[in-house]
Structure 1
């Protein structure tokens, strides 16, 4: 079923003007097309491998494409029958994104350690450890890149591109896709926000005082370190959920006012700050695997840097935690989603 943009009549001083109102299906097509194009446009540059940025952009495009298919699923799927062909199901996009991500993660590690080596005053022994680590990272990255390269040159990838191009040229929709986007938009976003607000990570390291939830005041780094690895998995899961909410709200910023845009920017800020905490975990795990459990004795300056940064990041996290536990803020956030401009 194809959708057509509904028409709305607006009165002006000179008469009645007809303007289209985008439907749910129109927005689905626009979002899927936009992120599909971004997903595939970088392929040649990724395979040339002269710069890490095209790989990063292609990975982001795949993630956003996957999110678009999740957001607009009611417009393009009905019952168990998919309007979009099987090759672009989320699990197929996830496989491509995962292969891109494995290489990208190694790029991020390499860049981080390289910058730290260049910008930090290290002992000769510390500098040597990091130089050897960078060499090992390059070897691992080469092997992972070859695996990703095979996928991007495979029949499976070409079929994915071909089938999605076909759907974009001749889209099929469900019946509800004919509704104006303004009619369904709150129904798309309110469940996302409810799930976000109910995430257990908001209750990490809190106390309840007379019915009010208050983040605990952690006064020393030793206490934070003792509990950090216990709390981190929940915080990492919240980061992934925050990223999904941010991607989905960004699809619809044009339908809301400035306050909604500011809120979407805040989603990104929290995602980034939680991401820095997750980076510490990833770096620590990598160093443990590569240098051993006593890596902090081999590169003590790096261990000290982690400690200082962790403390700063925790203070930033608790400021957001207080905000999102506040009943007034939560009520206002829900209200904003039902008031389109």
Structure 2
């Protein structure tokens, strides 16, 4: 992280994190408004998500204007996210599915691409509008003013390494206690307990509510990853290995969610008898769902393991020892 040599207190690190992600947002803003390159939108959205995590993670140390609070930043990020989700869907179709289809099925997919194009045009307009509205303009104006004269709480003067475990523990707990870990699990009715030795039911058998619960864990994994990455300089190998696993959870649940979204929009365009209309497409979707299901089950078992859960908790406990070797 830039300026890490100068940062001593929790307040110092809070300002560095907030400023870093805010600058990334500004860097991509102009090109997002031009809407020429989907990667610019992705990077601006990531900046917003990471800024939101920094604001939440350092909330005990900073006093921010209301226009820059976690909720307001989240509202802006959500609008950017809707456009990004369509770009991801279109890219997935073009790179993963389309090359595998017959000419006949490729032709039939034109109807889907037209629907995505029409929907994207409307959302792109909304995205450009919000970047000109008061919610975004006030956010920038007030955050610029805060960065010029930051306002901190009393606890911001504490040395960062002394309280990092306290900052991380609530997010780690939220991640480990998320109900998605037991979605689809087998319940031993005789003893009324979950039998973790039996794999969870297949993704295609999940209810809509269960799908939404998995999607919720993806968001929790993302928040956990972003917060841990903010503090990466203070920790060593065990911490980094756990961070990699959490990133994998975010990624595989993201692919699973993309599959749910694809299934939904295909149903809207072609009805629910996809096997008859697009048989190769239907088969490829099943294959990807199966692959992602296996990857998810492996990660699910990893984070349900008492030993691994303990290892994750321990990995955040001694930052000051690592800090001496890093700084």
Whether the TM-score (by the shorter chain) exceeds 0.5 is: yes
Which runs of 5 or more structure 1 residues have no equivalent in the other structure? 6-18, 77-82
- How far does the alpha carbon of each residue in 1:292-313 deviate from its partner, in whole angstroms, 9 at most, with x for none? 2233422111111111121121
What residue is the counterpart of 2:74 in the other structure? Answer: 94
CA shift at 1:149, angstroms?
1.0
What residue is the counterpart of 2:143 in the other structure? Answer: 164
Matches within 5 A, 1:12-161: 22-76=8-62, 83-116=63-96, 118-124=98-104, 126-161=105-140
Please say if residues 113 and 130 of structure 1, whose CA atoms lie closer than 8 Å, have aligned partners that are also in contact: no
Secondary structure of 2:196's match?
A: strand
Q: Cα distance 1:105–1:208, how it changes in 2: closer, same or farther (>3 A)? A: closer
CA shift at 1:206, angstroms?
3.3
Please say if residues 205 and 215 of structure 1, whose CA atoms lie closer than 8 Å, have aligned partners that are also in contact: no
Q: Cα distance 1:277–1:259, how it changes in 2: closer, same or farther (>3 A)? A: same
- How far does the alpha carbon of each residue in 1:143-193 deviate from its partner, in whole angstroms, 9 at most, with x for none? 211111112123442221111011001101000000011111000111211
Q: Cα distance 1:199–1:230, how it changes in 2: closer, same or farther (>3 A)? A: same
Matches within 5 A, 1:242-321: 242-321=221-300
Secondary structure of 1:304's match?
A: helix
Secondary structure of 2:228's match?
A: helix
Q: d(CA) in 2 for partners of 1:117 and 1:325? A: 33
Q: Are residues 1:187 and 2:166 paired?
A: yes
Q: d(CA) in 1 for partners of 2:275 and 2:101? A: 16
Which runs of 5 or more structure 2 residues have no equivalent in the other structure? 323-327
Q: d(CA) in 1 for partners of 2:181 and 2:286? A: 23
CA shift at 1:290, angstroms?
2.3
Radius of gyration: which is bigger?
A: 1
> Which runs of structure 1 show a deviation greater than 6 angstroms over 4 or more consecutive aligned residues?
208-212
| Higher share in strand | 1
Q: Cα distance 1:187–1:213, how it changes in 2: closer, same or farther (>3 A)? A: farther
Secondary structure of 1:74's match?
A: coil
CA shift at 1:123, angstroms?
4.3
Q: d(CA) in 2 for partners of 1:54 and 1:21? A: 30
Q: Cα distance 1:130–1:116, how it changes in 2: closer, same or farther (>3 A)? A: farther
**More off after superposition, 250-259 vs 260-269:** 260-269
CA shift at 1:29, angstroms?
0.1
Please say if residues 117 and 127 of structure 1, whose CA atoms lie closer than 8 Å, have aligned partners that are also in contact: no
Match of 1:216 among 195, 198, 202: 198
Q: Cα distance 1:200–1:95, how it changes in 2: closer, same or farther (>3 A)? A: closer
> TM-score, with normalisation over the residues of structure 2?
0.89
CA shift at 1:131, angstroms?
1.6
Q: d(CA) in 2 for partners of 1:334 and 1:235? A: 22
Please say if residues 110 and 137 of structure 1, whose CA atoms lie closer than 8 Å, have aligned partners that are also in contact: yes
Q: d(CA) in 1 for partners of 2:119 and 2:216? A: 27
Aligned length: 314
Q: Cα distance 1:22–1:308, how it changes in 2: closer, same or farther (>3 A)? A: same
Note the aligned Cα RMSD (angstroms). Answer: 2.3
Q: d(CA) in 1 for partners of 2:69 and 2:199? A: 45
CA shift at 1:212, angstroms?
8.3
Secondary structure of 2:61's match?
A: helix
- How far does the alpha carbon of each residue in 1:81-115 deviate from its partner, in whole angstroms, 9 at most, with x for none? xx211211222212211221111111112222223
What residue is the counterpart of 1:16 in the other structure? Answer: none
> TM-score, with normalisation over the residues of structure 1?
0.85
What residue is the counterpart of 1:10 in the other structure? Answer: none
